[in-house]
Amino acid sequence: MADIFSSFGGGMFSMEILLPFFLVLAIVYGALEVSKVFSNKGVKAIIAVVFAFFAIMNSQVVTFINSILPYAAMIFVVIFIAWILLKPLRGENKDGKKKDPVLIIVILVLVMVLLARMQATDYLPENSILSNTNLIWVVGILVIGVILWKIYKMSQNEGGGHP
């Protein structure tokens, strides 16, 4: 399979090398940006580039990153879609009260039940701790937890609860 970068530098610019390079570059630069260790953006960029070059020099690191990237991409897509779909359910109401997270939990429970029913966990690796049975247990524990949490909140609002 020929890619457009293979003609440059004999494969040095192949996606197998570029993706780990840019991933390490972004993670290191982001970590330096958040930690505010250096105030100069140029210094942060140089440190990130050096870390990225060191990472792609080790073939085991490149192989590991390339094996993880498809799963990481799927996780980020799911998180991004969930973030967009759940945006109307976050924050405060127009009254200034916090929104009730029960609706979000109910939606998540329904998604888990749907995934278990579709046996979506069959596509996970064999040594994964997530199975259809475990998924149903998690749903049951979440449902019981939400019920107990709502009872506690209602007793707190009515003045009952703790003496």
For residues 66 and 16, the answer to whether their CB atoms sit within 8 Å is: yes
What are the tokens at 119?
């046996």
Answer with the residue of higher pLDDT: 49 or 87.
49
- Amino acid 29: pLDDT: 93
pLDDT digits (tens, 9 = 90+) for 142-152: 778 877 877 88
pLDDT digits (tens, 9 = 90+) for 17-45: 888 899 899 999 999 998 888 888 899 99
For residues 90 and 100, the answer to whether their CB atoms sit within 8 Å is: no
Question: In Å, how far are 39, 80, 123, 132 from 31, measured between CA atoms?
Answer: 13, 21, 33, 37
Confidence of residue 155 (pLDDT cuts 50, 70, 90): confident
**What distance, in Å, lies between the first and last C-alpha atoms of the chain?**
72
pLDDT over 60 (residue 7): no
For residues 146 and 105, the answer to whether their CB atoms sit within 8 Å is: yes
- Amino acid 150: pLDDT: 77
- Amino acid 25: pLDDT: 93
Task: Note the pTM of the prediction, 2 decimals.
Answer: 0.49
CB atoms within 10 A of CB 43: 12
pLDDT over 80 (residue 113): no
Confidence of residue 15 (pLDDT cuts 50, 70, 90): confident
**Taking CA 123 as the corner, what is the angle to CA 120 and CA 129, rounded to the nearest 5 degrees?**
85
Question: Span 112-128, mean pLDDT?
Answer: 65
Local structure of residue 39 (DSSP, 8 states): S
Confidence of residue 133 (pLDDT cuts 50, 70, 90): low
Mean pLDDT of the chain: 75
Coil, strand or helix: which one is 99?
A: coil
pLDDT digits (tens, 9 = 90+) for 67-104: 888 888 888 888 887 777 666 666 656 666 666 666 66
For residues 17 and 45, the answer to whether their CB atoms sit within 8 Å is: no
